[in-house]
Amino acid sequence: MSDDPRLLSSGLDIPTETYSDQPFVVQTDDGAWLCAVTTGAGHEGQSGQYVCTQRSLDRGVTWQDRVAVESPTGPEASYAVMLKTPSGRVYVFYNYNTQNQREVIADPDTFKDGLCRRVDSLGDYVCKYSDDHGRTWSRQRWVVPMRLFAIDRQNPYGGEVRFGWNVGKPFVIDGAVYLSFHKVGGFGRGFFTSSEGVLVRSDNLLTERDPERFVWETLPDGEIGLRTPPGGGPVSEEHSYVTLSDDTIYCVYRTTDGHPVCARSYDRGHTWTTPAWQCFGDGRRMKHPRAANFIWKCRNGKYLYWFHNHGGSCYEDRNPAWLCGGVEVDGPDGRTIAWSQPEIVLYDDDTHIRMSYPDLIEMDDQLYITETQKDTARVHAIDPALLAGLWGQFDEHTPAPTGAVLELPGTTAMPERCEWPRLPEFAVRDGRRADFGTRPTRQGFSIDLTVQLAGATTTRAVLLDSRTPDGAGVCVAADRSRLEVSISDGRTENVWRSDAGALRADTRHRLTVVVDGGPHIILVVIDGLLYTGGAFKQFGWARFSPCLMHVHGEARASLACSDHAVVSALGVYARALRVSEAVALQCTPGGA
């Protein structure tokens, strides 16, 4: 097992069948973690899909009391969320194909006979309850009624058959329960062709014991749910909600536009601010593909946001997963959230693994995340230092990292050449293997540079170069306004490049290059901001090859000192700094 807690396989497995989705957890009054998961013997959307629950009394090490909320031989039951009430009763809400409908009218250009036979996202939204902490569930189920919206009336059945599902967890404001639901307009290319978010509110669920007597209201007012910002596409789904200290409801959701969306309600869900692209605290738009993005409020009053930090428009590239830390700030109409620069929280060595649908568990002083890549669900303890760093980005007094293996602070004239440290290897021979193959070290390194480019230069400037004649080593260069990083062991070369405009002439820039041998990713922090790819690049970060053994170069490295570019400070670390450390480093006065 790896000592990198971010590695997906280092987590603890949550037992399921072949398929595993939405491993969401509540903590019951008898101290257990109660996990609801959608599972089945087939794959996602196949017949036999059902919801089950199980309990853990040792923080996910072992699981017991597994029970099917619905039978695997019945209609599809899918995508459950739970709510624990003050009385200790737990409700589970999920999709249920009540009429056992086996096909629906769909786009004939996508489905050759004009029929979609995946039927786990239609029917009713229903609930059951447990009064014994999830050991058993009520035999009866109850339908959660919802008003018809325009998106329902425009589907092929005019709303007689309704399409939709949910991943957002319930929340409570002043005794009223709010449930999330994602309405769907039709099935075709990309599976869901249009979608939007609504809330279903009950004022008496927490006090009324008989579900038949629950009173429900569908929000927002009118017939239009939460959609993309003006000019955005037709897909707005997987809405996730938190409530702020002034009872503002803050919502995030995914699109196919390459960016996530946020909206806020100041009147408890009746109306919403015009949806806007989700931004970092510095005002730059976040990037995110068609994947779940979740928001959580922690006991310390701060927030966490899970997303994938690139501008894709489809379901791909959910590895790695990133977290932002959030703090409340005053907005134009009330409270809102300012978001930190992000950190990688989980990754897998298979770059095409699609981890998603996380949940957050907070117990004592430790936070845990559950996730699934649709086959194996797991629970992971989050490194407290990672969380402290995310929230610490809002603290002006956060200390910069120490332990540089090379430090030229720029207080005296910089040399044209300097002694260069031997940096960690990325892979080493494994003598325990009969074939003497390699094992990854999951180590890395970081280079912190203070540079300035000449205003009139049109020439590529090498800022730092430790390469041998055969190319092994590290090179950092600036090609006009682009930044370029290359790493090589003499066999395998990898190059990261920014877009044009990442650097500005006649401007003093602080650059921290992080080469992380865990997920095999190169990322760069420029003037305290993680580079995200600019307006034209989908990815701000880049992968480097797992075949790269090392970056052992010359014993001395050259530094730029010319009419084209000047390096005025340098620091080198024999480990991959966290983004938060790079931010703290760049917020310190002076050079490296």
CB 34 within 8 A of CB 133: yes
CB 355 within 8 A of CB 321: yes
Phi, psi (deg, nearest 5) at residue 240: -130, 140
Looking at residue 1, its pLDDT comes to 46
State the Cα angle at 250 between 391 and 364, rounded to 5°.
45
DSSP-assigned letters across all residues of 304-321: EEEE--S--SSS----SE
Report whether CATH 3.30.460.40 matches the domain 8-392. Answer: no
Cα–Cα distance, 197 to 185 (Å, whole number): 12
Q: What is the mean pLDDT of each run of 10 residues along the chain (592 residues)?
A: 87 96 98 98 94 98 98 97 98 98 96 96 98 98 98 97 98 98 97 98 98 98 98 98 97 98 98 98 97 98 98 97 98 93 98 97 96 96 97 90 92 88 95 90 97 75 96 93 96 95 90 98 97 94 97 96 85 98 83 50
pTM for this one? Answer: 0.96
CB 292 within 8 A of CB 277: no
Looking at residue 411, its pLDDT comes to 72
Distance from the first to the final alpha carbon of the chain: 35
Strand partners, 569: 450
Strand partners, 82: 92
Which residue matches tokens 């992380």? 516
DSSP-assigned letters across all residues of 313-358: SSS----SEEEEEEEEEE-SSSEEEEE---EEEEB-SSTT---EEE
pLDDT in tens, 317-332: 999 999 999 999 998 8
Domain ranges of the chain: 8-392, 406-586
Looking at residue 36, its pLDDT comes to 98
Q: Are the folds of 8-392 and 406-586 the same?
A: no
pLDDT in tens, 475-498: 999 988 899 999 999 999 999 999
Which residue matches tokens 């002076």? 590
CB 86 within 8 A of CB 26: no
CA neighbor of 574 nearest in space, from 401, 424, 464, 465: 424
Domain boundaries 406-586, CATH class: mainly beta
Angle at which helices 579-586 and 384-392 pack, to 10 degrees? 40
